[in-house]
């Protein structure tokens, strides 16, 4: 464990977590043009479902390449995030996303049981991510339904973004 050298505020930790999430939306590039790996401590850990725990920047890079290689695009819905602060180095972000996986598109809530809802638990010290454990359904395209009896007979509806409603005026 690294020795703490500076005190961070909750808002500073949140800004590091946001930079990390926005880098995913930008194919692994941060707002300053650097690599998403620049946001991590050398001995950081990242957990992703069905991949496991990656330790250190080399393994984290391999994990991100493996997972990111299955995604054509991703967009996090920043305005709807819930943030939970521990008063220490740990914070939690809960949110939704949409995008396109190699197996098809996804959008949180379409269908309600499908992918797109996630929760990340961060540990951030000295402006670097020490640990992030990612909790989500990695079946982005919703194809793994046969193993779940409550989904039998349900099909994934076509992913159609609802048309914008026009304002109505009354005469």
| Cα–Cα distance for residue pair 154/152, rounded to 1 Å | 5
Q: What is the pTM of this model?
A: 0.84
CA distances from 125 to 3, 7, 10, 11, 147 (A): 9, 8, 11, 13, 40
| Cα–Cα distance for residue pair 27/71, rounded to 1 Å | 10
| Cα–Cα distance for residue pair 13/93, rounded to 1 Å | 11
pLDDT tens, 32-66?
999 999 999 999 999 999 999 999 999 999 999 99
Token duo for residue 69: 């290689």
Range 147-170 average pLDDT: 57
Domains of the chain (ranges, CATH numbers) = 10-30+37-140 (3.10.450.50)
Token duo for residue 131: 């640990």
pLDDT tens, 114-148?
899 999 999 999 999 999 999 999 998 888 888 88
């Amino acid at each position: 464990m690294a020795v703490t050298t500076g005190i961070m505020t909750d808002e500073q930790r949140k800004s590091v977590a946001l930079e990390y999430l926005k880098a995913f939306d930008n194919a692994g590039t941060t707002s300053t043009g650097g690599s998403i790996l620049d946001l991590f401590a050398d001995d950081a850990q990242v957990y992703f479902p069905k991949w496991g725990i990656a330790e250190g920047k080399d393994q984290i890079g391999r994990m991100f390449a493996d997972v990111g290689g299955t995604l054509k695009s991703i967009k996090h819905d920043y305005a709807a995030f819930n943030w939970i602060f521990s008063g220490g180095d740990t914070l939690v972000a809960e949110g939704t996303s949409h995008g396109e996986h190699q197996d098809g598109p996804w959008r949180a809530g379409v269908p309600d049981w499908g992918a797109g809802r996630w929760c990340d638990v961060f540990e951030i010290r000295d402006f670097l991510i020490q640990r992030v454990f990612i909790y989500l359904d990695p079946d982005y395209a919703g194809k793994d339904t046969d193993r779940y009896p409550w989904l039998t007979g349900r099909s994934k509806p076509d992913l159609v973004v609802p048309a914008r409603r026009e304002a109505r005026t009354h005469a």
